[in-house]
Structure 1
Amino acid sequence: MSEKSVLDKTIPWTAVMLLLSGMCVGEGILPAGPVSGAVAGTVKFTTTLRPPEKPFLSVSWRFNGVNIISSTSVNITDPGYAGRISIDRATGSLELRNLALEDSGEYTITITPDGGLPKQGRSTLTVYAPITGATIRSPAAILIEDESSTNLTCEASGSICSREWIKDGQPLNPSGSVSFSLDNKTASLQPVHISDRGTYQCRVSNPVSTMTATHNLTVSFGPYNVLITGPSAAPQGHSITLQSGCLMAIRRMLITRCIS
């Protein structure tokens, strides 16, 4: 008989006893709520049980319905988990190491006490790839007030669960000229206004990691109110002086008044 066959048949009568006792799955043996883990990291499914006076007769863990480790007088481990899984026999807790995305799924524990009814609990694990390489891409180099439009695209690698846009330290919300793609990856400014200049951030996150990208947006504007003053008429052959006045807006938010 193969090692896997022994593993699957270690405690075949446990499921029958659970049905006969009318026991509900997940009776507080495992904390409520899913468990999150990072690729290459470690998670522990910690039970709520205290070590009994007499050791448990058996502890068994299944992943998506398939036995992965079972412990009675000896431990029997599925070959695919060799070297990265272990059981705490005193409480039934399970530690899983060197996580991969494929480890995401449902984990079930069945414990048979010495002299008591079997206990069962269930929990769900989701494994995430950590966020890396977050950046904001903006294709337009020069933006002119009320004439140019641009898209700010938030790019990153990893398991992306959410993107949050921030401008000058405050949440960036949709408005008349600001809109977002359905996945919140792209913020569109159509057209750009003076008020759109500033520091933009995109915070990319999942339950195991967060990364923030920053981009400074510059909008060129002005000059405003350009005037030319001087006489409206002059005799032929005479010299006249024309004078211009402007309120000039300089890039990078520097405004100066100039008279030439």
Structure 2
Amino acid sequence: MEQKRESRPSGVRNPPNRGRCSWTVLLLKASLFCFWIQGAPAHLTIIPWPQPVAQGQDVTLTVQRVLNRPFSWHRGTDTSHQSMIFKQPRAQNLKKGPAYSGREKLKPDGSLRITNVTLSDTGSYTLSLSTFPFGKLAKADIQVLAQVSRPSLTASSTDTVELRDSVIFWCLPGDPRESVVWFVDNKALTTSDRLELSPSNRTLTLYNITRGDIGTYQCEARNPVSAQRSDPLTLTVSSLSPTHKPFGAAKSSSLGFALAGGALTAVLGYFLVTRKGRRKSGEPVGEPGPGGGSPPAPNPKRIDVAYVNVLKPTGSAPWSQIALEIPPESDPNYQTLISREMNIYDQIRPPA
């Protein structure tokens, strides 16, 4: 039995296949999604170089992957229009934003180069990359430091006396962001017990100068991007002259002169007292004069006085050997100063 087909009026088309159309749209969307994912970098990284950078030099914010998608550079951490430096929505269509200063340049791989940087360029920079379904962001910081200026070296004194003087060196002006290193004869200064540095290393003190401290001194200021050394300063050291005796030696010398003067005064006083005593007792006190006459008979009580150089005792007549002795048969009022050796003073005899 034959099946009858339903006949349709002429001019009427079959309805479209809606299921087949839906699968086509889904395949197209999937292809586009894969294209966006493959074109976007998996991990976006920015490396600034050099870091830190000296004022007046150039710095580059290098992107690790080639940017083949729309992107934009921003000054700061936000991606607003006011912070935008560059925007490239598609190839060969670069736009400059409000944050563009005229010193920024865009490299072919999307990296950002800033020329002749200033201290105000210090801060964060953000790269915004358009990807589907979400965008990607990467941030980097740059630090701009000023060039170190040449320091000035001064000293409390450069002409010193050995073992008597101390010297203080100052390295100015002082910037807390800089470090200071000291040099002597172009070699790094070595530490010692007589050397003291301030916490900032800006002040150097040398105590009890010796001849080993003679040399040319310099200080060097440094920061991570530059260094400057001061003009040299020469330190001279003179030997301690005889007129500059230590305090102990001067004190001992003064004491010796005082003792010598006292001893000499005692000897002269004794001589005067002895002479006066002779005149009161009626004894002759001199030798016969040029007018003649017989010399007086020897006087057993006559006292001979010997004087020594008390200012410079000899090795054979030290101070410990100078004593006062009383002759056994003499008057108790008289004493004799006895020394074992005559020096520069002769025996003094009373005049006639």
Pairwise CA distance, 1:178: 0.8
Structure 2 unaligned runs (5+)?
A: 1-42, 246-311, 315-342, 347-352
Does residue 37 (structure 1) correspond to residue 53 (structure 2)? The answer is yes
Asked if the contact 2:167/2:205 (under 8 Å) is kept, the reply is yes
Query: Which range is displaced more, 153-162 or 193-202?
Result: 153-162
Where does residue 94 of structure 2 map in the other structure?
74
Identical columns (%) = 24
What one-letter code is carried by the residue in structure 2 that aligns with 1:91?
D
- Alpha-carbon distance in structure 2 between the residues aligned to 1:34 and 1:41: 9
Where does residue 249 of structure 1 map in the other structure?
none
Pairwise CA distance, 1:34: 7.6
Asked if the contact 1:110/1:118 (under 8 Å) is kept, the reply is yes
1:14-65 deviation digits (Å, cap 9, x = unpaired): xxxxxxxxxxxxx56223898222223322112222x35xx32112233254
Q: Indicate how the Cα distance of structure 1 residues 48 and 215 shifts in structure 2: closer, same or farther if over 3 A, else same.
A: farther
**Relative contact order: is structure 1 or structure 2 higher (C-alpha 8 Å, sep ≥ 6)?**
1
- Alpha-carbon distance in structure 2 between the residues aligned to 1:203 and 1:39: 19
Does residue 220 (structure 1) correspond to residue 233 (structure 2)? The answer is no
Where does residue 184 of structure 1 map in the other structure?
201
Number of matched pairs: 201
Where does residue 61 of structure 1 map in the other structure?
74
Provide the secondary structure at the position in 1 that maps to 2:96: strand
Where does residue 144 of structure 1 map in the other structure?
161
- Alpha-carbon distance in structure 1 between the residues aligned to 2:117 and 2:49: 19
Q: Say which of 77, 84, 97 aligns to 2:103.
A: 84
Where do 1:50-199 residues align within 5 Å?
51=66, 55-65=68-78, 67-72=83-88, 73-79=93-99, 81-88=100-107, 90-112=108-130, 118-155=135-172, 160-199=177-216
- Alpha-carbon distance in structure 1 between the residues aligned to 2:120 and 2:223: 17
What TM-score, normalized by structure 1, do the two folds share? 0.64
Q: Indicate how the Cα distance of structure 1 residues 108 and 220 shifts in structure 2: closer, same or farther if over 3 A, else same.
A: farther
Q: Indicate how the Cα distance of structure 1 residues 196 and 128 shifts in structure 2: closer, same or farther if over 3 A, else same.
A: same
- In terms of fraction of residues, the more strand-rich structure is 1
- In terms of fraction of residues, the more helix-rich structure is 2
What one-letter code is carried by the residue in structure 2 that aligns with 1:100?
T
Q: Indicate how the Cα distance of structure 1 residues 218 and 85 shifts in structure 2: closer, same or farther if over 3 A, else same.
A: same
Does residue 234 (structure 1) correspond to residue 344 (structure 2)? The answer is yes
1:98-149 deviation digits (Å, cap 9, x = unpaired): 3222222222222336x68644333222211112223321131421222222
Where does residue 276 of structure 2 map in the other structure?
none
- Alpha-carbon distance in structure 1 between the residues aligned to 2:84 and 2:210: 60
Where does residue 4 of structure 1 map in the other structure?
none
Q: Indicate how the Cα distance of structure 1 residues 183 and 58 shifts in structure 2: closer, same or farther if over 3 A, else same.
A: same
- Alpha-carbon distance in structure 2 between the residues aligned to 1:77 and 1:161: 37
What TM-score, normalized by structure 2, do the two folds share? 0.49
